[in-house]
Amino acid sequence: MILIMLGAPGTGKGTVASKLSEKLGIPQVSTGDIFRKAIAEKTPVGIEAEKYMSQGMLVPDEVTIKIVEERLKDSDVQNGLILDGFPRTIEQAEALDKMLKDADKNIRLAINLETPEEEIIDRIVSRRICSNQECKTVFNTKLNPPKQDGICDKCGSELKQRKDDNEETVKNRLVSYYKQSAPIVDYYKEKGLLYSSEVSIKINKMAVDVVEEVYELLTK
């Protein structure tokens, strides 16, 4: 089963992907996480990616597509995966279609999370992530605070803020999203693969609620 997460930064793609990954027993593949690991390890890809990520810009398609192509060859993803943060451009979506066609595989669903723009910046600057790389649980100091300040409920590790989760970078990330990534929502809609759901405090709906909806849809 191949699932794709779509939506602006801060809508909760990672949270939905990680919970669905647990429930469905298929790995979550996050291009953002792959780049952050490469940056921490100072690999050539990491050094290249950091130039863009620190500005809130998308890493060039050429680099990103190659990374996903390599990851899709790993044995753990052969029975399915949840792509979190890829594709983010039409060119990436077309490249993914080609990779899957060559491997005789199909996308089951593209899950699109919609959050009002005015909520997004607030959500991102209040986001805190567990520093334990095996855990990476996401908290929010306002919407979903940890029981103890700065400490992960799940594993007790320190919570950290992502470097690019500041107001200025977020604004650029939103511009990149609307310009380059939003068009792929229609790309999947036209293919009949789109499932859109709203995540907003206005309707009291969080990413975890979408997990239940999607799980039911996929297993009924």
Where do contacts with ligand ADP occur on this chain (CB under 6 A)?
A: 9-10, 13, 31-32, 35, 52-53, 56-59, 64, 85-86, 88, 92, 173
From 129, 130, 184, 214, residue interacting with Zn ion (rule: CB under 5 A) = 130
Contact between 135 and Zn ion (CB under 5 A)? yes
Provide the pairing of β-strand 127-130 with 138-140: antiparallel
Q: How far apart are CA 191 and CA 189, in angstroms?
A: 5
From 61, 99, 100, 132, residue interacting with Zn ion (rule: CB under 5 A) = 132
- Supply the DSSP symbol for 91: H
Q: How far apart are CA 124 and CA 162, in angstroms?
A: 9
Angle at 124 between CA 213 and CA 44, to 5 degrees: 100
Q: Which is nearer to ligand ADP, 133 or 148 (CB)?
A: 133
Name the binder of 12 from Zn ion, ligand ADP, none, CB < 5-8 A by kind.
Answer: none
**2 phi, psi to nearest 5 deg:** -110, 120
Helix (H, G, I), strand (E, B) or coil at 107: strand
Report the residue closest to ligand ADP, judged by CB: 32
Name the binder of 157 from ligand ADP, Zn ion, none, CB < 5-8 A by kind.
Answer: Zn ion
Name the binder of 130 from Zn ion, ligand ADP, none, CB < 5-8 A by kind.
Answer: Zn ion
Residues classed as catalytic: 13, 88, 127, 162, 173
| Closest C-alpha to 159, from 192, 194, 186, 135 | 135
Minimum CB distance to ligand ADP, residue 158 (Å): 19
From 66, 154, 163, 171, residue interacting with Zn ion (rule: CB under 5 A) = 154
Q: How far apart are CA 116 and CA 219, in angstroms?
A: 29
Tell me the HSE value of 27 on the side-chain side, using a 13 A CA sphere. Answer: 12
Name the binder of 155 from Zn ion, ligand ADP, none, CB < 5-8 A by kind.
Answer: Zn ion
Residue ranges that bind Zn ion, judged by CB under 5 A: 130, 132, 135, 137, 152, 154-155, 157
